[in-house]
Amino acid sequence: MSNKLTRQRERLLYLCDWLPPDYGAVGQYSLLFARELAEEGRDVILVGLSSRGSSDQSQTFEAGSLHEVRLYAPTYDKASNLRRLLWTAWTNTRLIWHARRELRAADTVLFTGSPPYLLHWLAPLNLILRKKLVYRITDFHPECLMAQYEKPGVLLRLIYRLTMFWRRRVHEFEVLGRDQARRLLDAGIPEGRLRLKRDPSPVEFVPGTSPLSRPAAADGRLLLLYSGNWGMAHDYRTFLAGYALHHREGTGRFILWLNAVGAAVGTIEEELKRQALPYVRGAPVPLPQLASLLLTPDAHLITLSDAFVGYVLPSKVHACIASGKPVLNIGSARSDVHGLCSELMRAPYRRVEVGDAEACLAALEGLANEIDSGRAGRSEEDACQLNVGVRR
């Protein structure tokens, strides 16, 4: 009887890119969701990548099970399109080959937008396998590459048409935001195939969570943290121009804490040094320290270029909101970053249109005023409570 019940559980194969402890938001969320699916009563096999070596481990829950498989893969130079293409083709082939038995046995195959173009391997195979395909479209490819060019070339346009051909053969899409849903609807994907499933905050801010030590260079200043990936999808010119004005024409109370990786980081550092603008250089922290990191600054910085709205949703927005810290968002009102911050934030929030350096200056000064006012209010409240205690 027990074996019969086990066979009746849905068998789900979950494919993604870098699994923890490797750095990558998609893998962190994939592991979280895979556990949830297993706890709901499915037999889940999660297959992802690791730069530290291949491994596998299993967990059994009351209603289901989770088997994690990490496949070794070397990292690659994201600045080289040729190396990126070769790595993607080789890695996708290895993932599919390694999971070939699980593919045949699965009832449902859930895959993400990372590694890129995995759809082009799975959808043709599924003409034979006939599995339910669920696409958690964390990243849009080739749209993200096309958005970098004013006029995408013939090859990119052909890849896009082929991608849309295969997307129409996906049974269900999990979208991270309403802006992504709009992109798919505009491309002709039926609304009935779309399901909104947002990423949660990857960390919990439980009582007793302490901030990290503030960088020494931030003494006497307000700390503005940019954490995570600062790549081609994330505007930086607007911030740098506004930040320069903040230090030359404004009060200069904020100092940037650059705790980031990504294609734009080198350029950002060069520009900060060229203009002699103050900043603190950091590095991404391990996941267990992330909550403490996000509680450390006085405010968070999020940016997104207009061309990438609906193609990219900065996953850190959820943790930034949950941290209770003020947020400066440089990006469009059409992005779900703005929608989420407007709906959920209690702390001060400012949004600046991409390209508006003067508005960025005003936002930095406004946030600094609100933060300083809040500090002053708390100091007065503490003094009043102390006086009451003395009188008693």
In tens, the pLDDT along 92-134 reads 999 999 999 999 999 999 999 999 999 999 999 999 999 999 9
Give the Cβ contact number of residue 256 at 10 Å: 23
Count, in order, helices (H) and strands (E) of the chain: 14, 14
Q: What is the pLDDT of residues 238-268, one digit of tens each?
A: 999 999 999 999 999 999 999 999 999 999 9
Same fold, 2-196 and 216-367: yes
- Distance, in Å, from the CA atom of 222 to the CA atom of 7, rounded to the nearest integer, reads 57
pLDDT score, position 384: 45
pLDDT score, position 180: 98
pLDDT score, position 82: 84
> Which of these, 189, 82, 170, 191, lies nearest to 119 by C-alpha position?
170
* Cis bond upstream, residue 115 (ω within 30): yes
Q: What is the pLDDT of residues 39-78, one digit of tens each?
A: 999 999 999 999 999 999 999 999 999 999 999 999 887 7
pTM value > 0.85 = yes
Domain ranges of the chain: 2-196, 216-367
Q: Which residues, other chains included, contact 1 with Cβ-Cβ below 8 Å and sequence gap of 6+?
A: none
Q: Give the class (CATH, top level) of 2-196.
A: alpha beta
CATH, range 216-367: 3.40.50.2000
- Distance, in Å, from the CA atom of 80 to the CA atom of 60, rounded to the nearest integer, reads 42
pLDDT score, position 391: 39
pLDDT score, position 383: 41
pLDDT score, position 253: 98
265: left (phi over 0), alpha (psi -120 to 50) or beta: alpha
Q: In which residue ranges of the chain is pLDDT below 50? A: 1-2, 4-6, 379, 382-392
